[in-house]
Amino acid sequence: MKMEALKTAGYTLVAAMLCNLPATAQVASPAPKLYNTAKQKLLDGKQIFSVTISKPDPEAYCEAAKHYDYTWFEMQHSTLTWADIEKMVATCPHVAATPMVRIHDELESSIQHATDIGLLGIIMPTVDTVEKAEATVRYAKYPPEGRRSMGAGQAARIWGGDGPDATMKYRTSINENMLVVVMIETPVGVAHASEIASVPGVDAVLVANTDLGNFSGWFDHNAAPYQGMVKRIHDATLHSGKFLGATDSSYSKGRPDSADFRMLQNGPSTDGWVNPNRPAARGPSR
């Protein structure tokens, strides 16, 4: 009887130890890092800066992208094609700057091209409505968060690897790694800033500094009405728990709210390198 009691106590102790192992391992293991390193930096509380690429030059792209947090492939105001961007991404697929694109529209076909060639961020310009923000999320993400379909582009090979399970590795990880960014550029967008920023799946909201003046008529960016629009976007974005950004990289320093601006177009490189194609975009040092 005594032996049976000892056995029972021993089994209970072992069972308790085994039950505790997963919890102990979970506490000890750090959260996995995203392969979208720009998004990971935002989650880590850092500011990120881009290099803007508007020309189909793989060599120049691969060199510049070594020195920035993310690449802003410019399609809204350039003649870049999807084939151009596909080739550049394939030439140096794991370069430091996370590849993203400012896209020209929110159509399913356009966003599908962007995601299938391996881009990890969609930057949507001139967002005036909730519907445009929702469409951006819808086609940038797989179900259940979105309505992206599965294609055979190079994305899975770049981010999932070369093995037989590469496609599913990519399929099950990309929603978390995709960065969905909307730009507010007009007084109409400013009026709807709270609703736009609150759209589920939108990660960041950018103040489009130049066009905010262009569309509003306030070309003096220091004027009170202009800064009032910036503040409205600022407050709506932070209230929604999203990342705030600007296309004017000078917002990263020198303002009372500079620490709130986390995603900037252009600006300084990570290591002091000056882009010979955009020397004026050096911006403030980090």
pLDDT score for 8: 43
- Torsions phi, psi of 48, nearest 5? -125, 150
What's residue 21's pLDDT? 38
Helix and strand element counts for the chain (H, E): 12, 8
Among residues 206, 281, 215, which one has the least CA distance to residue 246? 206
- pTM exceeds 0.75: yes
Q: Check residue 126 and give its pLDDT.
A: 98
Measure Cα distances from 55 to 61, 88, 247 in Å: 9, 10, 19
In the prediction, which pLDDT does 3 show? 42
pLDDT for 163 equals 87
pLDDT of residue 54: 97
The SS3 call for residue 205 is strand
* Predicted local confidence at residue 278, as pLDDT: 74
Q: According to the model, what pLDDT value does residue 7 have?
A: 43
Contacts of 193 (CB under 8 A, 6+ apart): 184, 205, 232, 233, 236, 237
| Below-70 pLDDT ranges, the chain | 1-32, 279-286
Cα 106-109-113 angle, rounded to 5 deg: 100
